[in-house]
Amino acid sequence: MTSERYEQGLAKRTEVLGEEYVAANLGAADEFNRPFQELVTEYVWGFAWSDDTLSPRERSFINLGLIAALGRMHEWEIHFRAAITNGLTRDELRSVLHQIAIYAGVPAGVECFRIARRVFAEMDPG
């Protein structure tokens, strides 16, 4: 049985990260990590991301800086893609990466730019 917050979180997680990504993560859940996936869906997405005080755009700005500072580049790429979905422009994203380099360190900025360029290359075939 799922809670209302879980269902709200599932909807928000799918909206921001995409149906394919969410379905793959939840579909790959097993007995060991299913409770963690449920926790992430209910609290990260149902509690924090579903709070309308901040817009998804604002949350994306925050997440990019925090996740870069933590050095979690796999998650950073996921949230970089989500930031694009949430409407951040390339100019805004470039400014965020400059901010990351200044406050989280140039090596973090280098890695973020590397990932960003790869994502943009995938988006802009040809």
CA–CA distance, 20 with 96 (Å, rounded to integer): 27
CA–CA distance, 85 with 126 (Å, rounded to integer): 21
60, 18: one domain: no
**Count of the separate structural domains present in the chain:** 2
79, 42: one domain: no
Of 48, 66, 83, the residue at which a domain comes to its end is: 48
Which of 17-21, 76-80, 122-126 is least confident?
122-126
Give the pLDDT band of residue 2 (cuts 50, 70, 90): confident
pTM (two decimals): 0.91
Give the pLDDT band of residue 12 (cuts 50, 70, 90): very high
Average pLDDT on 103-121 reads 98
Average pLDDT on 12-18 reads 95
64, 82: one domain: yes
Could you tell me if 118 and 51 are in contact, meaning their C-beta atoms sit under 8 angstroms apart? no
12, 40: one domain: yes
Q: How far is CA 108 from CA 80, 81, 85, 123, in A?
A: 14, 17, 22, 23
Residue 7: Cβ within 10 Å count: 13
HSE-up of 58 (CA within 13 Å, CB side)? Answer: 8
61, 16: one domain: no
44, 83: one domain: no
State which residues form the domain around 111: 56-123
CA–CA distance, 67 with 77 (Å, rounded to integer): 9
79, 119: one domain: yes
CA–CA distance, 56 with 85 (Å, rounded to integer): 9
60, 112: one domain: yes
Q: What is the pLDDT of residues 27-50, one digit of tens each?
A: 999 999 999 999 999 999 999 999
Q: What is the pLDDT of residues 45-59, one digit of tens each?
A: 999 999 999 999 999
23, 60: one domain: no
Q: Can you give the pLDDT at residue 1?
A: 55
60, 109: one domain: yes
Give the pLDDT band of residue 125 (cuts 50, 70, 90): confident
How high is the mean pLDDT of the chain? 96
CATH of the domain at 90: 1.20.1290.10
61, 114: one domain: yes
